[in-house]
Amino acid sequence: MARVTGLSVLTAYGRGPEALWDGLLSAAPAATPVTRFDTARHRAHAACTVPGDPDLFTELESLVGEACDQAGLSSARRARTPLVLAVHAGRDTAARAGRLSAACGLREVLTVHTGACAASATAVAEAAHLISVRTEERIVVAGGSFVDASMFAAFDSAGVLSAEGVARPFSAGRDGPVLGDGAAAVVLERDGSARPWAHVAGWGNASEAHHVCRPHAEGVGPAAAVAAALHRAGIGPDRIGYVNAHATATPAFDASEAAALVRALAPYGGRVPVSSTKALHGHCLEASGLVELAVCALAFHHGELPVNAGYLGPDGDCPLNLVLEHGQPPPADHALSLNTGFGGVSAVLLLAGP
Amino acid sequence: MNGGTGGAAVGLAVHAEARWPPPDDPGAPLPPVPRFEASAFAPLLVTVADRCLTARYGAPPVPPEAGRRIALVLAAARGDVVTQTAIDDAVAGHRPVPKELLFQNVPSTALGHVAVVWGLTGPLLATLCVGPADRAVFATAGRLVAAGDADLVLAVAADPTGDPADPGTAVARLLGPRPIPSRSL
Protein backbone atom coordinates (compact mmCIF):
# COMPACT_ATOMS: atom_id res chain seq x y z
CA MET A 1 0.00 0.00 0.00
CA ALA A 2 1.14 3.52 -0.75
CA ARG A 3 1.44 5.80 2.27
CA VAL A 4 0.29 9.43 2.08
CA THR A 5 3.15 11.09 3.92
CA GLY A 6 2.71 14.67 2.73
CA LEU A 7 -0.52 16.55 2.07
CA SER A 8 -1.14 20.18 1.16
CA VAL A 9 -4.38 21.71 0.00
CA LEU A 10 -5.82 25.07 -1.00
CA THR A 11 -9.56 25.69 -1.11
CA ALA A 12 -11.85 28.64 -0.60
CA TYR A 13 -11.54 27.92 3.13
CA GLY A 14 -7.87 28.86 2.94
CA ARG A 15 -4.50 27.21 2.73
CA GLY A 16 -3.65 24.00 4.53
CA PRO A 17 -5.45 20.90 5.76
CA GLU A 18 -6.58 22.50 9.00
CA ALA A 19 -8.22 25.42 7.18
CA LEU A 20 -10.14 22.88 5.13
CA TRP A 21 -11.09 20.92 8.24
CA ASP A 22 -12.26 24.06 10.05
CA GLY A 23 -14.41 24.88 7.04
CA LEU A 24 -15.89 21.41 6.94
CA LEU A 25 -16.64 21.54 10.67
CA SER A 26 -18.33 24.92 10.27
CA ALA A 27 -20.83 23.32 7.87
CA ALA A 28 -21.02 26.78 6.29
CA PRO A 29 -20.53 26.65 2.51
CA ALA A 30 -17.54 28.63 1.24
CA ALA A 31 -19.64 30.06 -1.60
CA THR A 32 -19.72 33.81 -2.07
CA PRO A 33 -20.79 36.12 -4.91
CA VAL A 34 -18.19 35.95 -7.67
CA THR A 35 -15.94 39.01 -7.91
CA ARG A 36 -13.17 37.51 -10.07
CA PHE A 37 -15.17 38.27 -13.25
CA ASP A 38 -18.53 39.67 -14.19
CA THR A 39 -21.46 37.27 -13.82
CA ALA A 40 -24.20 39.79 -14.64
CA ARG A 41 -25.20 37.93 -17.82
CA HIS A 42 -25.31 34.56 -16.12
CA ARG A 43 -28.00 32.63 -14.31
CA ALA A 44 -25.64 31.68 -11.45
CA HIS A 45 -23.54 34.17 -9.51
CA ALA A 46 -21.80 32.26 -6.70
CA ALA A 47 -18.64 30.20 -6.43
CA CYS A 48 -16.24 29.01 -3.72
CA THR A 49 -13.14 31.05 -4.55
CA VAL A 50 -9.91 32.09 -2.90
CA PRO A 51 -9.14 35.83 -2.88
CA GLY A 52 -7.92 37.43 -6.09
CA ASP A 53 -7.09 35.65 -9.32
CA PRO A 54 -4.15 33.36 -8.55
CA ASP A 55 -2.15 31.48 -11.17
CA LEU A 56 -2.77 27.75 -10.85
CA PHE A 57 0.76 26.58 -11.61
CA THR A 58 2.29 29.10 -9.20
CA GLU A 59 0.03 27.75 -6.47
CA LEU A 60 0.81 24.16 -7.43
CA GLU A 61 4.53 24.87 -7.07
CA SER A 62 3.93 26.15 -3.56
CA LEU A 63 1.68 23.20 -2.66
CA VAL A 64 4.17 20.63 -3.96
CA GLY A 65 6.86 22.28 -1.86
CA GLU A 66 4.66 22.15 1.25
CA ALA A 67 3.80 18.48 0.73
CA CYS A 68 7.45 17.55 0.16
CA ASP A 69 8.54 19.49 3.25
CA GLN A 70 5.89 17.73 5.30
CA ALA A 71 7.13 14.34 4.08
CA GLY A 72 10.67 15.35 4.98
CA LEU A 73 12.03 15.00 1.46
CA SER A 74 15.54 16.31 0.95
CA SER A 75 16.58 17.97 -2.30
CA ALA A 76 18.33 14.75 -3.29
CA ARG A 77 15.19 12.70 -2.71
CA ARG A 78 13.05 15.20 -4.62
CA ALA A 79 15.44 14.90 -7.55
CA ARG A 80 14.69 11.15 -7.67
CA THR A 81 10.92 11.65 -7.37
CA PRO A 82 8.56 12.03 -10.36
CA LEU A 83 5.40 14.11 -10.60
CA VAL A 84 1.93 12.98 -11.70
CA LEU A 85 -0.38 15.88 -12.43
CA ALA A 86 -4.14 16.38 -12.85
CA VAL A 87 -5.34 19.58 -14.56
CA HIS A 88 -7.52 20.75 -17.42
CA ALA A 89 -6.00 20.13 -20.84
CA GLY A 90 -5.05 23.43 -22.44
CA ARG A 91 -2.83 24.63 -25.26
CA ASP A 92 0.47 24.72 -23.35
CA THR A 93 -0.35 22.53 -20.36
CA ALA A 94 2.27 19.89 -21.10
CA ALA A 95 5.03 22.51 -21.25
CA ARG A 96 3.83 24.15 -18.03
CA ALA A 97 3.79 20.74 -16.35
CA GLY A 98 7.42 20.23 -17.29
CA ARG A 99 8.38 23.64 -15.92
CA LEU A 100 6.46 22.93 -12.71
CA SER A 101 8.35 19.69 -12.17
CA ALA A 102 11.69 21.44 -12.74
CA ALA A 103 10.80 24.34 -10.47
CA CYS A 104 9.89 21.89 -7.69
CA GLY A 105 13.20 20.05 -8.08
CA LEU A 106 11.43 16.85 -9.10
CA ARG A 107 12.80 14.27 -11.54
CA GLU A 108 10.23 14.45 -14.36
CA VAL A 109 6.54 14.49 -15.17
CA LEU A 110 5.25 10.96 -15.64
CA THR A 111 1.70 11.75 -16.72
CA VAL A 112 -0.73 14.66 -16.90
CA HIS A 113 -4.25 13.35 -16.27
CA THR A 114 -7.03 15.34 -17.93
CA GLY A 115 -10.03 13.04 -17.50
CA ALA A 116 -12.44 15.70 -16.28
CA CYS A 117 -13.59 15.37 -12.67
CA ALA A 118 -11.98 11.93 -12.39
CA ALA A 119 -8.51 13.28 -13.27
CA SER A 120 -7.07 13.58 -9.75
CA ALA A 121 -8.34 10.22 -8.54
CA THR A 122 -6.90 8.60 -11.66
CA ALA A 123 -3.58 10.34 -11.02
CA VAL A 124 -3.43 9.07 -7.44
CA ALA A 125 -4.31 5.58 -8.67
CA GLU A 126 -1.42 5.62 -11.15
CA ALA A 127 0.99 6.69 -8.44
CA ALA A 128 -0.28 4.12 -5.95
CA HIS A 129 0.09 1.37 -8.54
CA LEU A 130 3.64 2.30 -9.50
CA ILE A 131 4.61 2.37 -5.83
CA SER A 132 2.85 -0.89 -4.99
CA VAL A 133 4.73 -2.76 -7.71
CA ARG A 134 8.01 -1.06 -6.73
CA THR A 135 8.51 0.76 -10.00
CA GLU A 136 8.85 3.95 -7.94
CA GLU A 137 9.82 4.52 -4.33
CA ARG A 138 7.74 7.70 -4.03
CA ILE A 139 5.68 9.95 -6.28
CA VAL A 140 4.28 13.45 -5.89
CA VAL A 141 0.73 13.85 -7.18
CA ALA A 142 -0.66 17.36 -7.66
CA GLY A 143 -3.75 18.78 -9.25
CA GLY A 144 -5.84 21.85 -9.39
CA SER A 145 -8.68 23.80 -10.91
CA PHE A 146 -9.45 27.48 -10.36
CA VAL A 147 -12.74 29.02 -11.40
CA ASP A 148 -12.37 31.27 -14.44
CA ALA A 149 -14.75 33.26 -16.62
CA SER A 150 -14.77 30.75 -19.48
CA MET A 151 -15.33 27.72 -17.30
CA PHE A 152 -18.10 29.47 -15.38
CA ALA A 153 -19.81 30.66 -18.58
CA ALA A 154 -19.70 27.19 -20.14
CA PHE A 155 -21.26 25.56 -17.07
CA ASP A 156 -23.80 28.37 -16.75
CA SER A 157 -24.84 28.18 -20.41
CA ALA A 158 -25.42 24.46 -20.03
CA GLY A 159 -27.79 25.20 -17.16
CA VAL A 160 -25.78 23.03 -14.81
CA LEU A 161 -24.99 25.41 -11.93
CA SER A 162 -27.19 26.03 -8.92
CA ALA A 163 -29.12 29.22 -9.57
CA GLU A 164 -29.54 29.85 -5.82
CA GLY A 165 -25.82 29.34 -5.23
CA VAL A 166 -26.31 26.47 -2.77
CA ALA A 167 -25.31 22.90 -3.60
CA ARG A 168 -27.58 20.31 -1.98
CA PRO A 169 -26.10 16.85 -2.72
CA PHE A 170 -28.52 13.90 -2.50
CA SER A 171 -31.19 16.27 -1.16
CA ALA A 172 -34.71 16.99 -2.24
CA GLY A 173 -34.74 20.29 -4.11
CA ARG A 174 -31.16 20.09 -5.39
CA ASP A 175 -30.49 22.13 -8.52
CA GLY A 176 -26.82 21.70 -9.32
CA PRO A 177 -23.29 22.40 -8.13
CA VAL A 178 -21.41 25.50 -7.09
CA LEU A 179 -17.96 25.63 -8.66
CA GLY A 180 -14.95 25.86 -6.39
CA ASP A 181 -11.25 26.66 -6.47
CA GLY A 182 -9.20 23.66 -5.44
CA ALA A 183 -5.59 22.60 -5.62
CA ALA A 184 -3.67 20.01 -3.66
CA ALA A 185 -0.54 17.91 -3.61
CA VAL A 186 0.29 14.64 -1.91
CA VAL A 187 3.46 12.63 -1.47
CA LEU A 188 2.90 8.90 -1.81
CA GLU A 189 5.64 6.62 -0.52
CA ARG A 190 6.27 2.95 -0.10
CA ASP A 191 8.27 3.52 3.06
CA GLY A 192 9.30 6.58 5.01
CA SER A 193 9.53 7.78 8.57
CA ALA A 194 6.69 10.31 8.52
CA ARG A 195 3.42 9.18 10.10
CA PRO A 196 1.05 8.80 7.16
CA TRP A 197 -2.21 10.65 6.79
CA ALA A 198 -3.69 7.56 5.17
CA HIS A 199 -2.85 4.60 2.95
CA VAL A 200 -4.08 4.10 -0.60
CA ALA A 201 -5.27 0.50 -0.32
CA GLY A 202 -7.11 0.19 -3.62
CA TRP A 203 -8.49 1.92 -6.65
CA GLY A 204 -10.84 1.29 -9.53
CA ASN A 205 -11.67 2.90 -12.84
CA ALA A 206 -14.48 2.09 -15.26
CA SER A 207 -16.14 3.50 -18.34
CA GLU A 208 -19.94 3.48 -18.16
CA ALA A 209 -20.41 3.32 -21.96
CA HIS A 210 -23.92 4.74 -21.68
CA HIS A 211 -23.81 8.43 -22.71
CA VAL A 212 -21.05 11.04 -22.88
CA CYS A 213 -22.75 13.40 -20.42
CA ARG A 214 -25.73 11.60 -18.87
CA PRO A 215 -25.57 8.84 -16.27
CA HIS A 216 -27.00 5.35 -16.42
CA ALA A 217 -29.93 5.25 -13.97
CA GLU A 218 -28.47 2.24 -12.16
CA GLY A 219 -25.00 3.72 -11.84
CA VAL A 220 -23.29 0.81 -13.56
CA GLY A 221 -20.05 2.75 -14.15
CA PRO A 222 -19.39 3.95 -10.60
CA ALA A 223 -20.58 0.60 -9.24
CA ALA A 224 -18.00 -1.19 -11.37
CA ALA A 225 -15.26 1.18 -10.21
CA VAL A 226 -16.18 0.63 -6.53
CA ALA A 227 -16.20 -3.13 -7.06
CA ALA A 228 -12.77 -2.97 -8.68
CA ALA A 229 -11.37 -0.95 -5.77
CA LEU A 230 -12.72 -3.40 -3.18
CA HIS A 231 -11.35 -6.34 -5.17
CA ARG A 232 -7.93 -4.78 -5.46
CA ALA A 233 -7.77 -4.01 -1.74
CA GLY A 234 -9.03 -7.48 -0.94
CA ILE A 235 -11.72 -6.29 1.46
CA GLY A 236 -15.49 -6.47 1.61
CA PRO A 237 -18.01 -3.63 1.87
CA ASP A 238 -18.33 -4.24 5.62
CA ARG A 239 -14.91 -2.61 6.02
CA ILE A 240 -16.04 0.71 4.49
CA GLY A 241 -16.73 3.28 7.20
CA TYR A 242 -17.27 6.33 5.00
CA VAL A 243 -17.89 7.29 1.40
CA ASN A 244 -16.93 10.73 0.16
CA ALA A 245 -19.29 10.81 -2.80
CA HIS A 246 -18.85 12.70 -6.02
CA ALA A 247 -22.45 14.03 -5.80
CA THR A 248 -22.48 17.44 -7.41
CA ALA A 249 -26.13 18.07 -6.47
CA THR A 250 -27.18 17.36 -10.06
CA PRO A 251 -30.55 15.55 -9.97
CA ALA A 252 -29.80 12.64 -12.31
CA PHE A 253 -26.14 12.12 -11.41
CA ASP A 254 -26.76 12.05 -7.65
CA ALA A 255 -29.53 9.48 -8.08
CA SER A 256 -27.30 7.36 -10.31
CA GLU A 257 -24.42 7.53 -7.82
CA ALA A 258 -26.74 6.56 -4.97
CA ALA A 259 -27.90 3.54 -6.95
CA ALA A 260 -24.27 2.64 -7.61
CA LEU A 261 -23.33 2.78 -3.93
CA VAL A 262 -26.34 0.75 -2.82
CA ARG A 263 -25.51 -1.85 -5.43
CA ALA A 264 -21.72 -1.99 -5.06
CA LEU A 265 -21.70 -2.00 -1.26
CA ALA A 266 -24.60 -4.45 -0.84
CA PRO A 267 -25.84 -5.45 1.67
CA TYR A 268 -24.36 -2.43 3.47
CA GLY A 269 -24.98 0.19 0.80
CA GLY A 270 -27.88 1.83 2.57
CA ARG A 271 -26.06 1.91 5.91
CA VAL A 272 -22.53 3.12 5.13
CA PRO A 273 -22.16 6.81 6.10
CA VAL A 274 -21.99 9.00 2.98
CA SER A 275 -21.44 12.68 2.39
CA SER A 276 -20.55 14.87 -0.52
CA THR A 277 -18.41 17.72 0.74
CA LYS A 278 -18.81 19.62 -2.53
CA ALA A 279 -21.69 21.38 -0.77
CA LEU A 280 -19.01 23.08 1.34
CA HIS A 281 -15.78 23.53 -0.67
CA GLY A 282 -17.48 23.57 -4.05
CA HIS A 283 -16.99 21.43 -7.11
CA CYS A 284 -13.27 21.53 -7.87
CA LEU A 285 -13.46 19.64 -11.21
CA GLU A 286 -10.03 18.14 -12.06
CA ALA A 287 -8.87 18.74 -8.47
CA SER A 288 -11.80 16.89 -6.90
CA GLY A 289 -10.04 13.61 -6.21
CA LEU A 290 -7.13 15.22 -4.39
CA VAL A 291 -9.23 17.70 -2.38
CA GLU A 292 -11.56 14.88 -1.36
CA LEU A 293 -8.65 12.57 -0.53
CA ALA A 294 -7.60 15.35 1.86
CA VAL A 295 -11.13 15.38 3.31
CA CYS A 296 -11.00 11.63 3.93
CA ALA A 297 -7.53 11.89 5.47
CA LEU A 298 -8.76 14.64 7.79
CA ALA A 299 -11.75 12.53 8.77
CA PHE A 300 -9.37 9.72 9.74
CA HIS A 301 -7.11 12.18 11.56
CA HIS A 302 -9.90 13.79 13.60
CA GLY A 303 -12.05 10.69 13.98
CA GLU A 304 -15.12 12.49 12.69
CA LEU A 305 -17.05 12.39 9.44
CA PRO A 306 -17.76 15.60 7.49
CA VAL A 307 -21.40 16.44 7.02
CA ASN A 308 -23.45 16.45 3.84
CA ALA A 309 -24.39 20.13 3.96
CA GLY A 310 -27.26 21.86 2.18
CA TYR A 311 -29.68 19.07 2.95
CA LEU A 312 -33.37 19.99 2.83
CA GLY A 313 -34.95 16.55 3.07
CA PRO A 314 -34.92 13.03 1.67
CA ASP A 315 -35.12 12.16 -1.99
CA GLY A 316 -36.47 8.68 -2.63
CA ASP A 317 -33.97 8.27 -5.45
CA CYS A 318 -31.06 8.64 -3.00
CA PRO A 319 -31.62 6.01 -0.27
CA LEU A 320 -28.30 6.57 1.50
CA ASN A 321 -27.21 6.97 5.11
CA LEU A 322 -26.13 10.60 4.79
CA VAL A 323 -23.93 12.21 7.42
CA LEU A 324 -26.21 15.02 8.59
CA GLU A 325 -24.96 15.61 12.15
CA HIS A 326 -21.55 16.51 13.56
CA GLY A 327 -19.57 14.25 15.83
CA GLN A 328 -20.10 10.96 14.03
CA PRO A 329 -16.96 8.78 14.07
CA PRO A 330 -16.21 6.47 11.14
CA PRO A 331 -17.60 3.04 12.04
CA ALA A 332 -14.90 1.17 10.10
CA ASP A 333 -11.30 1.77 9.11
CA HIS A 334 -11.57 2.31 5.34
CA ALA A 335 -13.06 5.07 3.21
CA LEU A 336 -14.02 5.36 -0.42
CA SER A 337 -13.58 8.54 -2.44
CA LEU A 338 -15.59 8.42 -5.67
CA ASN A 339 -15.43 10.74 -8.66
CA THR A 340 -17.15 10.63 -12.03
CA GLY A 341 -16.62 12.74 -15.12
CA PHE A 342 -17.81 13.60 -18.61
CA GLY A 343 -17.37 10.73 -21.00
CA GLY A 344 -18.80 8.34 -18.42
CA VAL A 345 -15.56 7.77 -16.50
CA SER A 346 -15.66 6.74 -12.83
CA ALA A 347 -12.60 6.64 -10.58
CA VAL A 348 -12.49 5.39 -7.01
CA LEU A 349 -9.80 5.54 -4.32
CA LEU A 350 -10.02 3.16 -1.38
CA LEU A 351 -8.22 4.70 1.58
CA ALA A 352 -7.18 3.10 4.86
CA GLY A 353 -6.58 5.00 8.05
CA PRO A 354 -3.07 5.55 9.38
CA MET B 1 -3.11 -6.45 -4.57
CA ASN B 2 -5.37 -8.79 -6.49
CA GLY B 3 -5.33 -9.62 -10.16
CA GLY B 4 -2.97 -9.35 -13.08
CA THR B 5 0.69 -10.07 -13.02
CA GLY B 6 1.33 -7.86 -10.05
CA GLY B 7 2.58 -5.09 -12.29
CA ALA B 8 5.51 -6.85 -13.92
CA ALA B 9 6.51 -5.39 -17.24
CA VAL B 10 4.24 -6.57 -20.01
CA GLY B 11 5.34 -6.80 -23.62
CA LEU B 12 2.47 -5.49 -25.71
CA ALA B 13 1.62 -6.63 -29.20
CA VAL B 14 -0.23 -4.40 -31.68
CA HIS B 15 -3.40 -6.30 -32.64
CA ALA B 16 -4.85 -3.56 -34.85
CA GLU B 17 -3.82 -0.06 -35.90
CA ALA B 18 -5.29 2.92 -37.72
CA ARG B 19 -3.81 6.31 -38.57
CA TRP B 20 -5.08 9.75 -39.50
CA PRO B 21 -4.58 10.99 -42.07
CA PRO B 22 -4.87 7.57 -43.74
CA PRO B 23 -1.56 6.66 -45.42
CA ASP B 24 -3.40 5.64 -48.61
CA ASP B 25 -5.53 8.83 -48.77
CA PRO B 26 -3.71 11.67 -47.02
CA GLY B 27 -6.13 14.32 -48.31
CA ALA B 28 -9.27 12.61 -47.02
CA PRO B 29 -11.71 14.81 -45.11
CA LEU B 30 -12.25 13.89 -41.47
CA PRO B 31 -15.70 12.29 -41.01
CA PRO B 32 -18.03 14.37 -38.83
CA VAL B 33 -19.10 13.05 -35.43
CA PRO B 34 -22.60 13.96 -34.20
CA ARG B 35 -22.60 16.40 -31.24
CA PHE B 36 -18.89 17.16 -31.74
CA GLU B 37 -19.20 19.77 -34.48
CA ALA B 38 -17.25 22.68 -33.00
CA SER B 39 -13.78 21.24 -33.37
CA ALA B 40 -11.88 18.46 -35.16
CA PHE B 41 -10.35 17.31 -31.86
CA ALA B 42 -12.96 14.67 -31.00
CA PRO B 43 -13.58 13.58 -34.61
CA LEU B 44 -9.83 12.96 -34.99
CA LEU B 45 -9.76 10.67 -31.96
CA VAL B 46 -13.07 8.99 -32.73
CA THR B 47 -12.15 8.31 -36.35
CA VAL B 48 -8.86 6.56 -35.64
CA ALA B 49 -10.42 4.63 -32.77
CA ASP B 50 -13.33 3.49 -34.93
CA ARG B 51 -11.05 2.38 -37.74
CA CYS B 52 -8.77 0.51 -35.37
CA LEU B 53 -11.65 -1.34 -33.69
CA THR B 54 -13.32 -2.04 -37.03
CA ALA B 55 -10.11 -3.66 -38.26
CA ARG B 56 -10.18 -6.05 -35.29
CA TYR B 57 -13.87 -6.57 -34.56
CA GLY B 58 -15.84 -5.49 -37.64
CA ALA B 59 -19.01 -3.56 -36.79
CA PRO B 60 -19.74 -2.33 -33.27
CA PRO B 61 -20.36 -3.21 -30.51
CA VAL B 62 -17.88 -5.74 -29.20
CA PRO B 63 -19.35 -8.59 -27.12
CA PRO B 64 -20.01 -7.41 -23.52
CA GLU B 65 -17.60 -9.92 -22.00
CA ALA B 66 -14.82 -8.55 -24.23
CA GLY B 67 -15.88 -4.91 -23.74
CA ARG B 68 -15.44 -5.24 -20.00
CA ARG B 69 -11.77 -6.09 -20.50
CA ILE B 70 -10.88 -3.32 -22.97
CA ALA B 71 -9.50 -0.05 -21.61
CA LEU B 72 -9.36 3.29 -23.40
CA VAL B 73 -6.27 5.47 -23.16
CA LEU B 74 -5.55 8.83 -24.77
CA ALA B 75 -2.22 10.62 -24.79
CA ALA B 76 -2.52 13.96 -26.58
CA ALA B 77 0.03 16.67 -27.13
CA ARG B 78 -2.52 19.32 -26.12
CA GLY B 79 -6.17 19.78 -25.29
CA ASP B 80 -8.98 20.87 -27.56
CA VAL B 81 -7.64 24.31 -28.32
CA VAL B 82 -10.31 25.10 -30.91
CA THR B 83 -13.18 24.48 -28.47
CA GLN B 84 -11.41 26.35 -25.68
CA THR B 85 -10.86 29.30 -28.03
CA ALA B 86 -14.53 29.25 -29.04
CA ILE B 87 -15.54 29.46 -25.37
CA ASP B 88 -13.01 32.20 -24.64
CA ASP B 89 -14.14 34.20 -27.68
CA ALA B 90 -17.80 33.91 -26.73
CA VAL B 91 -17.04 35.16 -23.23
CA ALA B 92 -14.87 38.02 -24.50
CA GLY B 93 -17.60 39.00 -26.96
CA HIS B 94 -20.35 38.83 -24.31
CA ARG B 95 -22.12 36.10 -26.29
CA PRO B 96 -23.71 32.95 -24.84
CA VAL B 97 -21.45 29.88 -24.88
CA PRO B 98 -23.09 27.12 -26.94
CA LYS B 99 -24.00 24.59 -24.27
CA GLU B 100 -22.52 21.59 -26.05
CA LEU B 101 -19.06 23.17 -25.74
CA LEU B 102 -19.03 22.36 -22.03
CA PHE B 103 -18.60 18.63 -22.59
CA GLN B 104 -16.73 18.99 -25.88
CA ASN B 105 -13.97 20.85 -24.03
CA VAL B 106 -13.07 17.76 -22.01
CA PRO B 107 -10.89 15.10 -23.72
CA SER B 108 -12.57 12.21 -21.91
CA THR B 109 -15.84 12.80 -23.77
CA ALA B 110 -14.30 11.71 -27.08
CA LEU B 111 -13.17 8.46 -25.46
CA GLY B 112 -16.59 8.18 -23.84
CA HIS B 113 -18.24 8.45 -27.25
CA VAL B 114 -16.10 5.56 -28.52
CA ALA B 115 -16.95 3.57 -25.39
CA VAL B 116 -20.68 4.08 -25.93
CA VAL B 117 -20.59 3.04 -29.59
CA TRP B 118 -18.38 0.00 -29.05
CA GLY B 119 -19.52 -1.08 -25.60
CA LEU B 120 -16.14 -0.67 -23.89
CA THR B 121 -16.46 -0.64 -20.10
CA GLY B 122 -12.87 -1.07 -18.96
CA PRO B 123 -10.84 1.78 -17.46
CA LEU B 124 -10.84 5.14 -19.28
CA LEU B 125 -7.79 7.41 -18.98
CA ALA B 126 -7.36 10.74 -20.77
CA THR B 127 -3.88 12.22 -20.50
CA LEU B 128 -1.56 14.81 -21.96
CA CYS B 129 1.91 13.63 -22.92
CA VAL B 130 4.96 15.58 -21.86
CA GLY B 131 7.24 13.54 -24.14
CA PRO B 132 6.44 11.41 -27.20
CA ALA B 133 2.77 10.36 -27.30
CA ASP B 134 3.60 6.83 -28.47
CA ARG B 135 5.83 6.26 -25.46
CA ALA B 136 3.11 7.58 -23.16
CA VAL B 137 0.32 5.34 -24.45
CA PHE B 138 2.49 2.22 -24.42
CA ALA B 139 3.54 2.96 -20.83
CA THR B 140 -0.02 3.52 -19.63
CA ALA B 141 -1.38 0.54 -21.56
CA GLY B 142 1.36 -1.70 -20.21
CA ARG B 143 0.57 -0.59 -16.68
CA LEU B 144 -3.17 -1.32 -17.05
CA VAL B 145 -2.53 -4.77 -18.52
CA ALA B 146 0.13 -5.61 -15.93
CA ALA B 147 -2.21 -4.57 -13.14
CA GLY B 148 -4.93 -6.87 -14.45
CA ASP B 149 -7.27 -3.95 -15.12
CA ALA B 150 -7.63 -4.83 -18.81
CA ASP B 151 -6.74 -7.52 -21.33
CA LEU B 152 -6.58 -5.07 -24.22
CA VAL B 153 -6.13 -1.32 -24.46
CA LEU B 154 -7.43 0.93 -27.20
CA ALA B 155 -4.55 3.41 -27.10
CA VAL B 156 -4.79 6.69 -29.03
CA ALA B 157 -1.70 8.86 -29.45
CA ALA B 158 -2.69 12.23 -30.90
CA ASP B 159 -1.11 15.47 -32.00
CA PRO B 160 -4.10 17.76 -32.60
CA THR B 161 -3.03 21.05 -34.10
CA GLY B 162 -5.41 23.54 -32.57
CA ASP B 163 -5.93 24.88 -36.13
CA PRO B 164 -9.60 24.73 -37.23
CA ALA B 165 -8.48 23.94 -40.78
CA ASP B 166 -6.09 21.13 -39.86
CA PRO B 167 -7.11 18.39 -37.41
CA GLY B 168 -3.57 17.11 -36.93
CA THR B 169 -2.49 13.51 -36.70
CA ALA B 170 -3.37 10.50 -34.59
CA VAL B 171 -2.74 6.79 -34.38
CA ALA B 172 -4.96 4.29 -32.58
CA ARG B 173 -3.69 0.86 -31.63
CA LEU B 174 -5.31 -2.10 -29.97
CA LEU B 175 -2.60 -3.26 -27.59
CA GLY B 176 -2.37 -6.39 -25.52
CA PRO B 177 -0.46 -9.57 -24.87
CA ARG B 178 -0.06 -12.16 -27.57
CA PRO B 179 -2.11 -14.29 -27.71
CA ILE B 180 -5.16 -12.26 -26.73
CA PRO B 181 -6.91 -13.79 -23.69
CA SER B 182 -9.86 -15.83 -24.98
CA ARG B 183 -12.44 -13.74 -23.06
CA SER B 184 -11.42 -10.70 -25.13
CA LEU B 185 -11.36 -12.27 -28.58
Domain ranges of chain B: 13-24+36-178
User: Chain A within 8 Å of B96 (Cβ-Cβ)?
Assistant: yes
The reply to whether residue B130 touches residue A109, judged by beta carbons under 8 angstroms, is yes
What are the residues whose beta carbons fall under 8 Å from the beta carbon of B183, sequence distance 6 or more? Answer: B65, B66, B69, B151
Cβ contact, residue pair B91, A88, below 8 Å = no
Q: Which pLDDT belongs to residue B1?
A: 32
Residue B180: is its pLDDT beyond 90? no
Quote the CA–CA distance of A15 and A12 in Å, as a whole number: 8
Task: Please tell me what DSSP assigns to residue A180.
Answer: B
Which one from A113, A246, A281, A334 is the annotated catalytic residue?
A: A246
pLDDT at B164: 86
Residues of chain A contacting residue B76, judged by C-beta atoms under 8 Å apart = 89, 114
Chain A interface includes B178 (CB < 8 A): no
Helix (H, G, I), strand (E, B) or coil at A204: strand
B116, A122: Cβ pair inside 8 Å? no
Interface test with B, best of A200, A253, A345, A350 (most B CBs within 10 A): A345
Q: Do B121 and A93 touch (CB under 8 A)?
A: no
pLDDT at B10: 62
Q: Which CATH superfamily is domain B13-24+36-178 in?
A: Thiolase/Chalcone synthase (3.40.47.10)
Inter-chain CB proximity A343 and B113 less than 8 Å: yes
How far is it, in rounded angstroms, from Cα A320 to Cα A333? 19
Catalytic site residue A283?
Answer: yes
Question: For chain A, which residues make up each domain, given as ranges?
Answer: 2-189, 201-352
Superfamily of domain A201-352: Thiolase/Chalcone synthase (3.40.47.10)
Closest Cα to residue A224, out of A199, A241, A210, A207? A207
Cβ–Cβ under 8 Å, residues A342 and A261: no
Nearest CA in chain A to B99: A158
CB of A40 within 8 Å of any CB in chain B? no
Q: In terms of CA atoms, which chain A residue is nearest residue B69?
A: A206
Q: Does B38 touch chain A (CB under 8 A)?
A: no
pLDDT tens for each residue of chain A, 354 residues long: 999 999 999 999 999 999 999 999 999 999 999 999 999 999 999 999 999 999 999 999 999 999 999 999 999 999 999 999 999 999 899 999 999 999 999 999 999 999 999 999 999 999 999 999 999 999 999 999 999 999 999 999 999 999 999 999 999 999 999 999 999 999 999 987 778 999 999 999 999 999 999 999 999 999 999 999 999 999 999 999 999 999 999 999 999 999 999 999 999 999 999 999 999 999 999 999 999 999 999 999 999 999 999 999 999 999 999 999 999 999 999 999 999 999 999 999 999 999
Torsions phi, psi for A277 (to 5 deg): -85, 5
Cα–Cα distance measured from residue A128 to residue A302, given in angstroms and rounded to the nearest whole number: 24
Distance from CA of B117 to the nearest CA of A (A): 8
Q: Which chain B residues are Cβ-neighbours of A114 within 8 angstroms? A: 76, 79, 106-108, 126-128
Enumerate residues 6+ apart whose C-beta is below 8 A from A182: A9, A10, A11, A144, A145, A281, A282, A284, A285, A287, A288, A290, A291
Q: Which chain B residue has its CA at the smallest distance from A200's CA?
A: B1
B161 touches chain A (CB under 8 A): no
pLDDT at residue B9, rounded to an integer: 47
Closest CA to A299 of A271, A327, A268: A327
Angle between helices A149-157 and B81-92 (to 10 degrees): 90
| Mean pLDDT on B114-133 | 97
Chain A CB within 8 Å of residue B185 CB: no
Q: Is the ipTM of this complex over 0.85?
A: yes
If one looks up domain A2-189 in CATH, what number appears? 3.40.47.10
Query: Do A343 and B78 lie within an 8 Å CB cutoff?
Result: no
B179 upstream amide cis, omega within 30 of 0: yes
CA A250/CA A161 separation, integer angstroms: 9
CA distance B163 to chain A (A): 11
B128 touches chain A (CB under 8 A): yes
Query: Cα–Cα distance between B152 and B68 in angstroms, integer?
Result: 10
Predicted local confidence at residue B5, as pLDDT: 41
A199 given a catalytic annotation: no
The arithmetic mean of pLDDT across residues B19-44, rounded, is: 95
Residues ≥6 apart with Cβ < 8 Å to A39: A33, A45, A152, A156
Closest alpha carbon within chain A to B96: A157
- Residue B6: pLDDT band by 50, 70, 90 thresholds? very low
Instruction: For residue B127, give the nearest of A111, A205, A212 by CB distance.
Output: A111
Annotated active-site residue A246? The verdict is yes
Residues of A in contact with B111 (CB under 8 A): 207, 343, 345
Region of residue A243 (phi > 0: left; psi between -120 and 50: alpha; otherwise: beta):
beta
Residues 234-253 of A with CB under 8 A from B: 234
The active-site residue, picked from A45, A281, A283, A334, is A283
The β-bridge partners of A340 are A346
